[in-house]
Amino acid sequence: MKKPVIQFENYSFQYRSQTAPTLHEIDLTIYEGEKILIVGPSGSGKSTLGHCLNGLVPFSYKGEVSGSLKICGQDAKDLDIFSLSKKVGTVLQDPDGQFIGLTVAEDIAFALENDCTPQTQMFDKVAEVSKMVEMEDYLDSSLHHLSGGQKQRVSLAGVMVDDVEILLFDEPLANLDPATGKYAIELIDRIQQETNKTVVIIEHRLEDVLHCPVDRIIVVDDGRIISDMTPDELLASPVLEQCSIREPLYVKAAKYAACDITPEMKPAHLDTFQVESCKGQLVDWFTKVDSPQPREKTESVLELKEINFGYTPGKRTIHGVSFSIEKGEMVSIVGKNGAGKSTLSKLICGFEKPSSGRIYYRGQDITEDTIKERASRIGMVMQNPNQMISKQMIYDEVALGLVIRGVPEAEIKERVIKTLKICGLYPFRNWPISALSFGQKKRVTIASILVLEPEVIILDEPTAGQDFRHYTEIMEFLVKLNSQGVTIIMITHDMHLMLEYTPRAIVIAGGRKIADDSAVNVLADSTIIEKANLKETSLFELAHQAGISEPKQFVERFIAYDREVRQKWQ
Amino acid sequence: MAVEMLSYIERQSPVHRLTGVTKLICFMIWSSIAMLTYDTRVLVFLFLFSICVFIVSKVKLEEVAFVLLFILLFLMINNLAIYVFSPQEGVKIYGTSHVLFEIGGRYSITLEQLFYQLNVTLKYFTVIPAAILFIVTTNPSEFAASLNRIGVSYRISYAVALALRYIPDIQRDFRNISLSQQARGIDMSRKEKLPKRIKNAASIIIPLILSSLDKIEIISNAMELRGFGKNKKRSWYRARPFQKIDVFTLILFAFILLVSLYATFYDGNRFYNPFL
């Protein structure tokens, strides 16, 4: 019999500022050395559940607790946040935000400093832990100069110095590119095997976490535990679909093909998944569904010619990038963190001036145009909506650009209302922005750009940190805009997004364009995948295993079919 | 990112090697002298000395050029304002009046006024390089450790260190926000009238405050989760003991303080008067 380390018994929690409890009657036991994944849509209470474990609830976020929670046999009520932090080490979602020190070593040592550890002991411990996460060569590096994956390793090291018993990861994959995410999951797995700690991962990117085995998956929705099963059992059940959590694509494909998935088929990992029994159905389904129509060629709306750029003289960030985007296209620009994607978008919007090369808009040279002049043709939506919103009311925020341009009031009203209707924000027009959810705020920022009637919109990571439902909502909204003739360029490292919504992908690595092809072709090319830190989609492998000779076609048809199914959600 | 003003610049130099406390005390001594004295000889000496320190620190002029220019702009405004509001201040102080140009009534330019304003300018020039140097050569964490050692509570020390650390972050945010607002047509350039520009600035400041508040919540949670504030004391990874060079520097500065004060006040007047 294993020792239970986390025991929720009839546990409920209500935030002080809210009228209804966020967690209802949670009963959950996690045993020593287990690896648990908690999934659930945004607002389901899964993060609150994590906060209960590390003590942020109720110490930082006050509220009413009922029932009991025992951590390592001790009642959480009798512990304070500091003694809890010695038992539960938390790696927060956003690695940038949680760094406290300036350099790697300092940040790792932070918890030790707070324990008054003598300096020499700190040096030893930091050296030891940094080795475990393979960061020993970067001890004196500034945290800002690290890649996303390295940052995450540092934050992991920062909690490992404490010899905690439980490691809690809050959305560890949120800001990582696909290849780095895969590595992060492998690292978590390795550390768990080496140290036999209990690991709790909160994440909605199920397929990516399942890259390494987990013992159980807890599904949370509406503040309740919906299911508590092994991955194989869960994937065979309809629970995920009901909570609108994205299932692994290969499982989804098999389900579309009407295969009967049972836990015995071991669907938790593609390598173990026994497709033999449903090969026939997959092939049948493949021949039955239609392949999507390729879009027709139109005239070029935006063209970059041999763009070179560097932030500091002598150090180039962008090397001779050229591409042309046609009117009405939906294109993604992909590549790993720091490849130069965002820099490219800044160059297009005129935030930065290229050192050489030209930018054309409908054949007209706009390289020398100011930010404001370009803004009426090319709009830019930033990743974090809080960085764009400056008014209290939705109507005012959307109208801002027009008011400043001195548009007559009657016209402003007309255009704002039209835009709000397109964006589905009309019912909220008199609401304060602070009352909106993150996804709705994102829409407000898109609306405030859209109202200026640009022909091209550039979005930086439009779905970062969104769950599957919101992701679908935002993307379908963008597709709708696109079908009305707005050209859309997305900067992303989300492969699902690129595969599903953008027929064409431009891949940037090290400031150079390394591919400009259909999204499916990009993901089928292993050299590009490696150079740009992408990951092959599991659908290819499934098609291979099912003996389908045109795996690319299979992927395309799956995506078209899947989107149609999901459109019914709206 | 391109613009990172006033953040710590890592170099190998004697100035960097001093502990944060030494630099803080020296800076305080330095600015008190500059504040107290109007003695041109002392100011010129301090000015030359600070240029020497600047060279020793290996900080390049272009790395701080923007801030420097910004402050110079204010210096100019300040000088103009002094002249506009008090054109005969120099005459009052030095007790003589050597008129250079007649420009009707009290606005005549006098040698005394020019000399007085030269002194004011020199005061700026002595303090500014020192202040900039102090910020760019002090590792914020090490500085917090030093503050804590001279008796400041570690919570306050850490708050100071975090503030210093977030200077580049906030600058980056500010730049991003201002660019995206400019793209929406908010003009911050001189083409716009002043009242409108002030109003426009609000549309950058508000998002900046909101996104900074988000950051504060995350960082304070992160700190608490790792045990910040648990004990009355804490140790410091970056702590550095006082070395000979620190002691030497402190003695040197104390000496400069005494000499300057003596030179300034031995005749009972803060002003050095070449007109007598």
- The per-residue pLDDT for range B20-29, each reduced to its tens digit, is 889 989 999 9
Give the nearest chain B residue to A343 (CA atoms).
B1
**Rounded Cα gap, residues A126 and A104, in angstroms:** 9
pLDDT tens digits for A303-352?
999 999 988 777 888 999 999 999 999 999 998 877 888 889 989 998 88
Across the interface, of B1, B140, B185, the residue whose CB is closest to A405 is: B185
Give the nearest chain B residue to A434 (CA atoms).
B210
Cβ–Cβ gap A448/B184 under 8 Å: yes
Picking from B225, B230, B231, B234 by the largest number of A CB atoms within 10 A of its own CB, the best residue to mutate is B225
**Rounded Cα gap, residues B79 and B129, in angstroms:** 19
What does DSSP assign to residue A312? B
Whole-number pLDDT of residue B189: 65
B189 touches chain A (CB under 8 A): no
Residue B2 banded pLDDT, cuts 50, 70, 90: very low
Which tokens sit at A320?
């001779």
Length of chain A: 570
Whole-number pLDDT of residue B190: 63
DSSP string, B6-48: S------SHHHHS-HHHHHHHHHHHHHHHHH-B-HHHHHHHHH
Mean pLDDT confidence for B229-249: 88
B11 touches chain A (CB under 8 A): no
pLDDT tens digits for B161-197?
888 778 878 888 888 888 888 888 776 666 667 787 7
How are strands ordered across the β-sheet holding A88-91? A88-91, A166-170, A198-202, A35-39, A216-221, A224-229
**Rounded Cα gap, residues A327 and A506, in angstroms:** 16
pLDDT < 70: residue spans in chain A: 1, 569-570
- Chain A CB contacts of B184 under 8 Å are 375, 400-401, 404, 448-449, 452
Picking from B16, B63, B135, B184 by the largest number of A CB atoms within 10 A of its own CB, the best residue to mutate is B184
Mean pLDDT value across chain B = 86
**Rounded Cα gap, residues A362 and A487, in angstroms:** 12
Cβ–Cβ gap A390/B183 under 8 Å: no
CA distance A564 to chain B (A): 35
Q: Is the pLDDT of residue B4 over 70?
A: no
**Rounded Cα gap, residues A387 and A460, in angstroms:** 12
- Chain B CB contacts of A434 under 8 Å are none
Length of chain B: 276
**Rounded Cα gap, residues A431 and A451, in angstroms:** 18
pLDDT tens digits for A158-203?
988 988 999 999 888 887 888 888 999 999 999 999 999 999 999 9
Mean pLDDT confidence for B206-221: 85
- For B:76-95, CB contacts with A below 8 A are none
**Rounded Cα gap, residues A42 and A280, in angstroms:** 37
Give the nearest chain A residue to B222 (CA atoms).
A98
- Chain B CB contacts of A405 under 8 Å are 185
Q: pTM score, two decimals?
A: 0.83
Across the interface, of B181, B214, B226, the residue whose CB is closest to A114 is: B226
Q: ∠ CA(A346), CA(A348), CA(A350), 5° rounding? A: 65
Cβ–Cβ gap B235/A119 under 8 Å: yes
Query: For chain B, first and last CA: distance in Å?
Result: 55
For residue B178, the Cα-to-chain-centroid distance in whole angstroms is: 25
Query: Do the Cβ atoms of A481 and A457 come closer than 8 Å?
Result: yes
DSSP string, A436-482: S-HHHHHHHHHHHHHTT--SEEEEESTTTT--HHHHHHHHHHHHHHH
Query: For A92-101, A520-529, B102-111, B230-239, which range has the lowest pLDDT when averaged over its residues?
Result: A92-101
Give the nearest chain A residue to B234 (CA atoms).
A116
As a whole number of angstroms, the longest Cα–Cα distance in chain A is 75
- Chain A CB contacts of B154 under 8 Å are none
What does DSSP assign to residue A45? S
Which one-letter amino acid corresponds to residue A42?
S
Query: Do the Cβ atoms of A226 and A241 come closer than 8 Å?
Result: no
CB contact set of A160 (below 8 Å; sequence gap of 6+)? A89, A129, A132, A133, A167, A191
B2 touches chain A (CB under 8 A): yes
**ipTM, 2 decimals?**
0.79
Higher pLDDT residue, B107 or A309? Answer: A309
Whole-number pLDDT of residue A280: 87
